[in-house]
Amino acid sequence: MYNIIYSSGGVCLSDGFFASGVHAGLKKEGALDMAFIYSVSQCEVAAVFTTNKMAAAPIKHFRSMGDVKPNFIVINSKNANAMTGSAGVEDIKEVLSNCPQEAKNPIMSSTGVIGVRLPKAKIIEGMKLFDLTKKDSSSAAKAIMTTDSFAKEIAFKVVLSDGSSFNIGAIAKGAGMIDPAMATMLCFITTDAKADKSEMQEVLDEVVKTTFNAISVDGDTSTNDTVFVLANGRSGVYEREAFKEALFKVMHFLALEMVRDGEGATKLVTYKITGAKDDRDAEVAAKALSDSLLVKTALFGEDPNWGRIASTIGASGVEAYEEKLKISFDNLCVYDRGEILFDAEMEKKCAVVMQHQKFTISCDLGVGEGSFKAYGCDLGHEYVKINADYRT
């Protein structure tokens, strides 16, 4: 048995980890735009990256490093260092050669505008502002934001049955270019658990399927999507199931925070699919709903247009039948295996549900035992405004 306890501290909760954010002049008006995460001990690292074929230079650089144990991450916002070719990787090497002397096998992560070389001089000067004694997870979380409207961090203490414990914490960013194959998102997770690298990678691969790979804001998969888990082992403690559940709690919380913070979003919607032929069909149907522009705009208009739900499921390619499908808004069933229950009174009730900031659309396909939950938001005027003016 084990107990997972919410705590403050973000990426700095775990023993031996430090972090902070600084202003290096990448953003205007003194806004934080660079961050570091530092461990006094070198770390085992597990990672998951974008499925976009145009993966950014930081991802290419990390993959070229081989099996190393870093203790230092440099993160910049405002510039993605994507579509910059081999020069983008060389820029990273130059930046990292100027890291503080405590940095071992340092790595870099970036987010921002695609197709622009890194402002190396500003970043190198910015690193001189890093204070490796700071435990300021919140400022690090703010420094990595782009169109995010709020910083995202979380931490837990995990107590095992024998009284021993380890910690896990994270910061993340993400609000747009979010699609169920990860998102324009960066997530940095630190733990003092004594985790084996290969087992930690297995656990991360499992957990990402129902967290970051289950969310959608706009259906676009970025070039820079990254999840890093760094384990320095300083607690001397590890238990797989406890670690897996704690990692899930961290990633699930941050995934939903990204959807809640979706550019211009006003709704956080859970798409719960049950009764599918198998789990894979359920996942396809759920993600089709979370991605659908027609569904998203209906959510924004608070229009309980259940026909769009049915149509999207039918178009997804999964096994589904009109006479077996059941659709509900929270606990209000609007269509039940061929019977339309959506009269004027039901429409009013469903419209009230859709005024809530959070609700669930449930669809029972009635053909099997498969199930999956995806998470999405609405799409409104503000999303267009933000992304029309993103570079300016």
Active site residues: 184
* Dmax (CA) of the chain: 69
The label of the residue with tokens 């340092």 reads 106
Q: Angle at Cα 373 formed by Cα 370 and Cα 377, nearest 5°? A: 150
Helix axes 85-96, 57-64, angle to 10 degrees: 70
Q: Please, are residues 12 and 188 in contact by the beta-carbon 8 Å criterion?
A: no
- Sign, CA torsion 90/91/92/96: positive
Helix/strand/coil for 280: helix
Q: Which tokens is 197 given?
A: 């690298």
Helix axes 120-127, 85-96, angle to 10 degrees: 20
Residue among 318, 322, 317 nearest 306 (CA): 322
| Interhelix angle 279-291/293-300, nearest 10 degrees | 60
**In the block, residue with structure tokens 């197709």:** 115
- How far apart, in whole angstroms, are the C-alpha atoms of residue 373 and residue 243? 22
Cα 180 to Cα 226: distance, rounded to the nearest angstrom? 13
CA-based torsion, 107, 111, 114, 119: positive or negative? negative
Q: Burial-class residue 330 by CB neighbours within 10 Å (0-12, 13-18, 19+).
A: middle
CA distance 392 to 389: 5
Distance CA 282, CA 172 (A): 28
End-to-end C-alpha distance for the chain, whole angstroms: 53
